[in-house]
């Protein structure tokens, strides 16, 4: 595709910038240390969302890659405090991101755009993203809950939360099957449709096998 090299160039330019490159790498390490390597919500999730976000961003010239990258890195940072503080992780992540970015001296504009994107990525809070970076983060995060990765995540999460198989299957209907209709960007809509179909197929097969059908 014609646009890919431009995106790469834009993305690399963040790292080429001596100050931002060092800062982003420091933030990246802080996120790794904080979230750990749990495949469901840990750093592997952040890495997958980053890849998805950059893929979705290919279709938009106006994307600010610094905002996007920071928003992806920090969007779940509040999860570590969620259970102790009984506050939604998107709200906590936005607060923590604001403090972290202020410490690194980012401009108010960057901080506001990053925190706004973080607040808008939540399925539960339902804030509408105001910017393209917010829409991309929301789509990328939801795509990571769909398809084969979505299936892997839901079963790992169910094991952790000791959900029964019935409760796990209900989760597909109550949440996961609704996600494809919440996408903002065209590419995400197409990708979500594909991942959604795969989950339906999987669940259909699972239910058949449970009933000992061939
Ligand atoms: Fe996430």
How many angstroms is it from 119 CA to the middle of ligand 1? 11
**Does 134 reside within a domain?**
no
Ligand 1 centroid vs 40 CA: distance in angstroms?
9
pTM greater than 0.85 (yes/no): yes
CATH of the domain at 207: 1.20.58.1910
Q: What is the Å distance from ligand 1's center to 173 Cα?
A: 20
Structure confidence by residue, pLDDT tens digits, 104-160: 999 999 999 999 999 998 878 778 899 999 999 999 999 999 999 999 999 999 999
Report d(CA 154, CA 36) in Å as an integer. 18
Q: Considering its fold, how many domains does the chain have in total? A: 2
| Residue 94 falls inside a structural domain | yes
What is the tens place of the pLDDT at every residue in 148-190? 999 999 999 999 999 999 999 999 999 999 999 999 999 999 9
What's the pLDDT score for residue 84? 78
Do 85 and 16 belong together in one domain? yes
Q: How far is the CA of 75 from the centre of ligand 1 (A)?
A: 6
What is the 117 CA–ligand 1 centroid distance (Å)?
12
In a shared domain, residues 109 and 152 = no
Nearest to 70 by CA among 122, 123, 14: 14
132 located within any domain = no
Domain membership of residue 160 as a residue range:
145-214
CA 210–ligand 1 middle distance (angstroms): 31
């Amino acid at each position: 595709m014609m646009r890919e090299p431009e995106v790469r160039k834009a993305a690399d330019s963040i790292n080429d910038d001596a100050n931002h490159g060092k800062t982003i790498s420091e933030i990246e390490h802080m996120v790794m240390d904080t979230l750990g390597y749990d495949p469901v919500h840990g750093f592997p999730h952040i890495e997958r969302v980053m890849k998805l976000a950059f893929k979705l961003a290919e279709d938009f010239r106006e994307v600010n890659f610094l905002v996007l990258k920071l928003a992806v890195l920090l969007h779940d940072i509040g999860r570590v405090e969620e259970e102790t503080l009984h506050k939604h992780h998107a709200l906590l992540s936005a607060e923590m991101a604001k403090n972290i970015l202020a410490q690194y001296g980012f401009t108010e504009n960057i901080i506001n755009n990053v925190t706004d994107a973080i607040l808008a990525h939540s399925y539960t809070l339902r804030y509408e993203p105001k910017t393209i970076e917010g829409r991309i983060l929301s789509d990328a995060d939801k795509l990571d809950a769909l398809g084969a990765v979505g299936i892997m995540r839901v079963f790992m999460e169910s094991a952790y939360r000791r959900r029964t198989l019935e409760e796990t299957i209900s989760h597909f209907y109550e949440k996961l099957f609704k996600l494809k209709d919440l996408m903002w960007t065209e590419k995400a809509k197409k990708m979500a449709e594909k991942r959604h179909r795969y989950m339906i197929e999987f669940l259909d097969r699972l239910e058949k096998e449970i009933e000992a059908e061939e």
